[in-house]
Amino acid sequence: MSFRTAYKDPTKITVTLPKTLLVRLDEYVPSRKRSRFIAEAIESRLALEEQLTALDETAGAWSDGNHPEMETEEDIDRWIDDIRASWSASDGEHHG
């Protein structure tokens, strides 16, 4: 979801901020642009939290035992080269 989509249905809330944080906000963001700035900051932080949650939830999903073809660094390099070669073959261009 883009910020512009999220901002189409604004709802007023009351929040409490540390005074030092508000002073810093005042230094950089005009008062008429605060809501948008804060909403963008929250959206950005939530995206990060969602990514961290996804990483936590999928931790351990990869098992070396299930992928013996990638046992060494050379195996991994070969796999990457094969993937890149398939891209070049599929679009007729060289990406090197």
User: How does pLDDT run across 69-87, given as a tens digit for each residue?
Assistant: 888 999 999 999 999 999 8
DSSP class of 32: G
**Please, what is the end-to-end C-alpha distance for the chain in angstroms?**
34
Q: What is the pLDDT of residue 10?
A: 87
* Residues listed for the chain: 96
Band the pLDDT of 89: cuts 50, 70, 90. confident
Q: What is the pLDDT of residue 27?
A: 97
- Quick check: pTM over 0.75? no
For the segment 8-35, the average pLDDT, to the nearest whole number, is: 94
**Distance of alpha carbon 18 from alpha carbon 26, whole angstroms:** 13
For the segment 16-26, the average pLDDT, to the nearest whole number, is: 97
- For 30-40, letters b (16+ CB in 10 Å) and e give eeeeeeeeeee
Q: What percent of the chain has pLDDT over 70?
A: 85
Contacts of 7 (CB under 8 A, 6+ apart): 36, 39
Contacts of 18 (CB under 8 A, 6+ apart): none
Q: What is the pLDDT of residue 19?
A: 97
